[in-house]
A = this chain, B = another copy of it.
Amino acid sequence: MTQPIRPGEIAVKVPEAGDACLRFIGRLRTPWQRREDCPRQGDPAGPECRIEVFAPWEQALMGLEAPSQLQVLYWLDQSRRDLLVQRPKSGDRLFGTFALRSPVRPNPIGSAVVAVIGIEGAVLRVRGLDCVDGTPLLDLKPARTPGLTDHPANPSQ
C-alpha cells in the first residue's frame, strides 16, 4: 500500500490524523483498476463513469439535473500522506506537495469537476473522473457558477 519514495523526495514523521473524521457517502466506478492505469487528469470527453451514492444520502441529490457540472470530492485511499517534496514520474524536478496535484498529500482529498450526463436513482452517470475504480466518495457540490451570485448553488446561509 505504501509506495516507495523517489530520489530527492522528502518524507516526514507525521502525527496521528485525528483532528476530524470523514464518512464515505458513496463510491466512484471508473474503468481504471490500478493507479498506474488512471489518466493524468479527468477529461470531460473521457469514458463514462458512475457515482454511486449510499443510503440515506440519495435524497440529498434532490434538485440536481443532467446535463450539469458537478464538483466531486473523493478520498484517495491508496496514497501515502507523509511527503513534503515530490518528484513527478514525468521529470526530474522536485516540487513541494502543494505545488502538485499528485494524490500523495497530507489529506489525500481529490477534487474533480465532472459533466453529469444522467441521473438514475442513486447513480449519476458522469464524464471527467480520473481515479481508481472503487474510490470512496466524500462530497458532491454544484460547480462554481462565476457571476451568478444569486444562483441557488451559491446561497447565503
B149 touches A40 (CB 8 A): yes
* Chain A interface SS verdict (over half): loop
Give bound CA distance, A35 to B109, whole Å.
24
When C-beta atoms are compared, the residue in chain B nearest to A136 turns out to be B19
Output the least CB separation between A41 and chain B (Å).
5
B141 touches A62 (CB 8 A): no
Q: Copies of this chain, how many?
A: 2
Give bound CA distance, A106 to B140, whole Å.
10
A59 touches B84 (CB 8 A): yes
Partner of A20, one of B22, B70, B152: B22
A98 touches B155 (CB 8 A): no
A113: chain B residues within 8 A (beta carbon): 144
Does A154 lie at the interface of the complex (its beta carbon under 8 Å from any beta carbon of B)?
yes
- Which chain A residues in 1-50 approach chain B with CB under 8 Å? 10, 12, 14-25, 35-36, 40-41
Could you give 12 example pairs across A and B, Cβ below 8 Å?
A: A18-B21, A19-B21, A35-B157, A40-B156, A41-B154, A61-B98, A88-B156, A90-B150, A98-B139, A102-B155, A104-B157, A107-B138
